[in-house]
Structure 1
Amino acid sequence: MHADVHTATPAAKLPGERTYTIARMPTQDASADHAQLETALRDELTKKGFADTEDQPAHYLLSVAYATRPAQIGVDVNDCMASDCGRQNGAPFSLFGGRVYRHSLTLRFFERASGREVYKVSAASDDRDADPLHAMPALIKSVLARFPFDAPANWRVKLRMDDARGVPDVVSVTPLQR
C-alpha cells in the first residue's frame, strides 16, 4: 500500500517549541470518527517529539481535515441523446467488485502568536473500503513519515501492515516527479 504526500509549505524544520493544540470545527467535536483520528494523530505526534497542551497555550494551532469520497465522480445530463447518456468516463464495471474510494488527510500548523501558517502537508490514498477510519492509520503515518517534509513538494510513502501490531509501518519515502 502507498500514499502520495504533498507539502504546500515544505520546511527543513518547524521553528519554536514543539507544543500544539488541535483547533476543531463544531462538526468535528460531534464526530466519533474525529475523536478516534485525533487519538491516533496525538500518539504519532508524541513519537515525533510534540506535546499536546490542550489546556494551556501552545506554540502551534493544528488544523486537521480529512475526507473519504468515491475516487471517480460522474455527471449525468438530462437532455442527452440515448447513445450518449449515462456515465461518460471510466470503466462501466468494477474489476474485482466494489467502488474505489479516495481518502485524504491534511495537517496545517499555524503559529499561535502570529496566526501564520508555517507548514501544510496532505496525504491521499485509494482503496475499496469506504470507512475513513480504516485508512487513517496509514495516512497519519504517511504525513508524518518525514516530519517535516522538505523540498521537493511531492513524495510517495510506501507502507506495509504489521499484522502482529495491527498498524502500518513505513517501508520507503521517495520523491515523486510530476
Structure 2
Amino acid sequence: MKIDRWTRRATLLLATLTVLLSGCTSYVTSQVTAFSDWSGNDATRTYAFTRAGDQQNNLELTTYERLVGNELATHAFRQVDKSQARYLVGLSYGIRSDMVTVAQPVYYNPWPAPYWGRPFDPWGPWGAFPTAYVNQSYPIFTHLLGVRITERASGKEVYNVTARNSDEESSLVRAMPYLARSALADFPLGNGVVHTVKLPVDKNGGASNEVATTGPAPAAAPASAPGAKVVQ
C-alpha cells in the first residue's frame, strides 16, 4: 500500500517524539551557598531542632524538619533530646513571586492552506518567518531553605547553608524535598562555597533517589531574593 506524504511525515514525527520523550529526564537545579567552621566527627553528631517561641506547634515547620532530618541522617547525624544534643539545628524558609517578561515570536506562513506539506513548505501550518514579537509575562517563584547548625554548649555557629531555586512551581511544600537534599548534598562544604545541585525528578513528580549532580555555580549566579517571605 502506498502511504501518502502527509501520513509518512506524521509517522516519522510521532516516532521521533517517542524516542525523545522516552529518554527525557527533568531536573530541579538549586544554588547552594555555605559558610562553615565545621570540625565535627561521626561520634559527636547528635542534634536537636531549635525553634522560636511562637513556632512550637507549627505543623509546616515540623514537615520541613522531618525532610531535613532525613538528609542529616545520611551524614551520620542522630536526633536526640535537646538536653543531650551536641548541635542545635534551626531552619529558615520562604518563597517570593516575581513576573518575568519574555518576547515571543509571532510566525508568518507564506504558504496558506491547502498547501501545507507541499515540498516547498517544510514548516507545515506553523510557518517559518517571525514577523513580530509579543511580550508575554509569566509568574516565577523563588523558594528558599536555610539550615543553621550551632554548638549547644557554646552557641557557636559551625555551619550555615542556604539552598534556593526558581521555577513556575507556586508551592513551597513541593519544592522543599529538593531544597533539603540540595542543602545537605555534599555536607560539609568549605567556607564560602557556592555551587549548584541538580536533582532528577522521578516519574511521580517527586525527588528521585538518584545521586545528585553538583558543580560550581555560574559566574552570574542570582543573589538572595530580596523581599522573600522568610520564617526564622
The alignment's TM-score, normalised by the length of structure 1, stands at 0.77
Q: Report the CA distance between 1:177 and its aligned residue.
A: 5.1
The alignment's TM-score, normalised by the length of structure 2, stands at 0.61
SS of the equivalent of 2:60 reads: helix
Q: Using the alignment, how far apart are the partners of 2:177 and 2:216 within structure 1? A: 21
Overall identity of the aligned pairs, in %? 29
Q: Report the CA distance between 1:55 and its aligned residue.
A: 5.0
Please point out which of 19, 27, 37 is paired with 2:46.
19
Distance 1:10 1:112, change over 3 A: closer
Q: Which has the higher helix share?
A: 2
Are the equivalent residues in 2 in contact too, given 1:6–1:153 (CA < 8 A)? yes
User: What residue in structure 2 maps to residue 94 of structure 1?
Assistant: 137
Give the total of aligned pairs. Answer: 157
**Once structures 1 and 2 are overlaid, which stretch shifts more, 13-22 or 53-62?**
13-22
SS of the equivalent of 1:7 reads: strand
Please point out which of 196, 199, 206 is paired with 1:156.
196
| Unaligned residue ranges in structure 1 (runs of 5+) | 73-89
Q: Using the alignment, how far apart are the partners of 1:145 and 1:57 within structure 2? A: 26
**Once structures 1 and 2 are overlaid, which stretch shifts more, 163-172 or 19-28?**
163-172
Are the equivalent residues in 2 in contact too, given 1:65–1:107 (CA < 8 A)? yes
| Structure number with bigger Rg | 2
| Unaligned residue ranges in structure 2 (runs of 5+) | 1-27, 102-134, 220-232
User: What residue in structure 2 maps to residue 75 of structure 1?
Assistant: none
Q: Using the alignment, how far apart are the partners of 2:35 and 2:184 within structure 1? A: 14
Q: Using the alignment, how far apart are the partners of 1:163 and 1:153 within structure 2? A: 32
* Deviation >2 Å, runs of 4+: 8-11, 13-16, 26-32, 90-95, 162-171
Q: Report the CA distance between 1:149 and its aligned residue.
A: 1.1
The question of 1:137 aligning with 2:194 is answered no
